[in-house]
Amino acid sequence: MGAIVTVERVLARTPALAVLLPLIQAYDVGCLLSLDVVARNTAAPRGLAVQLDAAFSGEESTSLHISLRYPGGVEVVSGDDRHCAPPCLSWFPGGVRGDATHTLYQMPLWLFPLPPAADFLLTLEWPWARIGPTAITLDGAAISTAASRSAQCWPA
């Protein structure tokens, strides 16, 4: 079972969309960044669901892009895991929930292996939604500590 690192950050906001990172679930083998996109249905751009699906397909021109930059310059980019060489940041199947006014698109990202136990930079960019590069610092030490608290997937 993964241990939770509370992040509770709004990564970007437009009149129609909010991109949130509420938490990171850390396992001994990697971590899941729980990215949420909340849409105001009356203001959301046409084709939003299709554009979010593009993140899973790697469609460069329209998809939501996340990158991580570690100390020392190593960069990990969402959807760029075709070579399967770690580190990699892969979109993970999420879910959609909503009502007449808002829709929540859950867009988790699996990061393998765990990031270094030092601060690193997460950058979000989504030109299609008119969201320019926005960066926040994440605490790699907190993620490592949480991973050490998690139930190991397999015994050592």
pLDDT digits (tens, 9 = 90+) for 8-21: 999 999 998 999 99
pLDDT band at 145 (very low <50, low <70, confident <90, very high): very high
In a domain? residue 155: no
Q: Is residue 36 situated within a structural domain?
A: yes
Residue 114 lies in a domain: yes
Helix (H) or strand (E) holding 52: helix 48-57
Cβ atoms of 126 and 12 within 8 Å: the answer is yes
The residue ranking higher by pLDDT, 30 or 81, is 30
pLDDT in tens, 36-94: 999 888 887 777 777 766 655 555 666 788 999 999 999 999 876 566 678 999 887 77
Q: Can you give the pLDDT at residue 42?
A: 84
> Does any domain span residue 90?
yes
The CATH number of whichever domain residue 136 belongs to comes to: 2.60.40
Domain that holds residue 78: 3-144
**153 assigned to some structural domain:** no
- Tally of domains in the chain: 1
